[in-house]
Amino acid sequence: MAVNRGMRMRFNAIGAALLGAGLLLPGAASAAEITEVQIINGLQGPAVTVVVDPNALMAEVNANVGKGASALPTWAQLANLTQLVVDIEFEYNSTAIVPNSYRTLGAIADALHHPLLARYKFLVVGHTDATGAADYNLKLSLARAEAIRAALTTTFTVAPGRLFAVGVGEELPLDPGNPDAAINRRVQLVNIGEVR
Amino acid sequence: MREMRRKFISGAIAAVAMIAAGSAQAATVSFADAMSLMARDCGKDVQTYCKGVPLANNGVGQCLMQNQAKVSPVCIQTLAAVRASLAARIEAQDSVLKVCRGDAARRCQGVVTSDAHTLDCLLKAADHVSKKCNAAITNAGWR
């Protein structure tokens, strides 16, 4: 297996537009930790109502490993939706979330429980950088997105019907000119409309 | 002077009311704060005894409890405290709409029926909302 196991997936605000100020609490780790309020503000209300089928996303990317995902029809629709990127770190070559990222997961849970977001459902999309084999990266990104969804829907009591895990491996880099850059390792949260 | 005094008194009353409301129900914390405490007090033990264990299904918490004999006492204490305050918060979140139903009917007529709009109305009307409802909103972490 190749060297990169994407030590972590980054969840950055696209364009790094997030109001940087991390809330420093006991045990808080990195300075730029995202807060509940930032997540609520970032994910409130879909800008455009598009029906996105998580299964269609996976089918498209599975059929096009190594070819990029931005031009795939269902993936192309994601760009129009309300979304946010957050930093979550994992153990090396594993789907276990490291303690330094526990707070971020908790903040996501707080936001998802808040009445302002309670009626929406979301995609959890895992991304890696391009180090290593594309098909392995795709599997790892999906497994990590699933680990996040599993934690949120059990330990953090978010209704399972509100979250859908999807992986896209290295196929949608934020910085295509530097495919191995850390900024490409991330997970997107995408508002895909109201729960029915 | 009188104005200052009035402010001081109303401040003192508010403080007492807060303490009273707090003692009526268990204090709650956010998931974010709970996880910060857990990372601070249990992070090292997680790396030592529970590396690779998923957070899902409370896996990390259970793993730490299974290794209770070796895990630091502070971590075990934090786990129990975190569990209790999170349970109280979830209970408060689940109960807000029920506890505040009467207040919402009185104060929020004509407000679009949605949990978010009702909450917004109740927050704005906090001075006229029942103590119980205000306490539930506070414990839910939605103030």
Cβ within 8 Å of residue B14, ≥6 positions away: none
List alpha helices for chain B, DSSP H.
Answer: 2-24, 31-49, 59-66, 73-99, 101-107, 115-124, 131-140
Chain A residues 142-181 within an 8 A CB cutoff of chain B: 147, 150-151, 153-157
B6: closest CA of chain A, how far (Å): 34
- Residues B101-140 have pLDDT tens digits of 999 999 998 887 788 999 999 999 999 999 999 999 999 9
- Contact criterion met (CB below 8 Å) for B55 and A144: no
- Which of B37, B39, B116 minimises the CB distance to A100? B39
| 8 Å CB contact of B39 and A99 | yes
A131-167: burial string, b at 16+ Cβ within 10 Å, e else: bbbbebbbebbbebbbbbbbbbbbbbebeeebbbbbb
Chain A residues in contact with B55 by the CB 8 A cut-off are 96-97, 102, 105, 147, 150-151, 155
A160: closest CA of chain B, how far (Å): 12
CA distance A33 to A35: 7
- Six token digits for residue A151: 């934690």
* Residue B82 predicted with pLDDT over 80: yes
How much is the pLDDT for B115? Answer: 87
Question: What mean pLDDT do residues A162-181 have?
Answer: 96
CA distance B121 to B114: 11
Chain A residues in contact with B54 by the CB 8 A cut-off are 95-96, 147, 150-151
- Which of B30, B39, B114 minimises the CB distance to A36? B30
List alpha helices for chain A, DSSP H.
Answer: 36-43, 54-62, 73-78, 102-113, 134-153
Q: Is B46 on the interface with A (CB under 8 A)?
A: yes
The mean of the pLDDT values for chain B is 85
> B interface mutation test: which of A5, A90, A93, A113 has the most B CBs within 10 A?
A113
Percent share of chain A, pLDDT over 90? 74
SS3 A125: strand
How much is the pLDDT for A32? Answer: 62
A113: closest CA of chain B, how far (Å): 8
- Six token digits for residue A124: 């959890």
CA distance A73 to B86: 42
Chain A residues in contact with B36 by the CB 8 A cut-off are 25-28, 102-103, 106
A155: closest CA of chain B, how far (Å): 5
pTM across the whole model: 0.82
> B interface mutation test: which of A102, A104, A117 has the most B CBs within 10 A?
A102
Chain B residues in contact with A163 by the CB 8 A cut-off are none
CA distance B14 to A146: 45
How much is the pLDDT for A46? Answer: 62
- Residues A93-102 have pLDDT tens digits of 899 999 999 9
- Contact criterion met (CB below 8 Å) for A9 and A96: no
The mean of the pLDDT values for chain A is 84
A124: closest CA of chain B, how far (Å): 15
How much is the pLDDT for B112? Answer: 79
Assign A48 a pLDDT band (cuts: 50, 70, 90): low
- Residues A136-168 have pLDDT tens digits of 999 999 999 999 999 999 999 999 999 999 999
- Residues A72-89 have pLDDT tens digits of 999 999 988 999 999 899
Percent share of chain B, pLDDT over 70? 82
| 8 Å CB contact of B36 and A154 | no
* Residue B26 predicted with pLDDT over 90: no
Lowest mean pLDDT among A69-78, B12-21, B96-105: B12-21
* Residue A196 predicted with pLDDT over 60: yes
How much is the pLDDT for A8? Answer: 43
Of B42, B24, B47, B48, nearest to B81 by C-alpha is B42
Question: What mean pLDDT do residues B69-83 have?
Answer: 96
Backbone angles phi, psi at B55, to 5 degrees: -70, -25
Q: Is B61 on the interface with A (CB under 8 A)?
A: yes
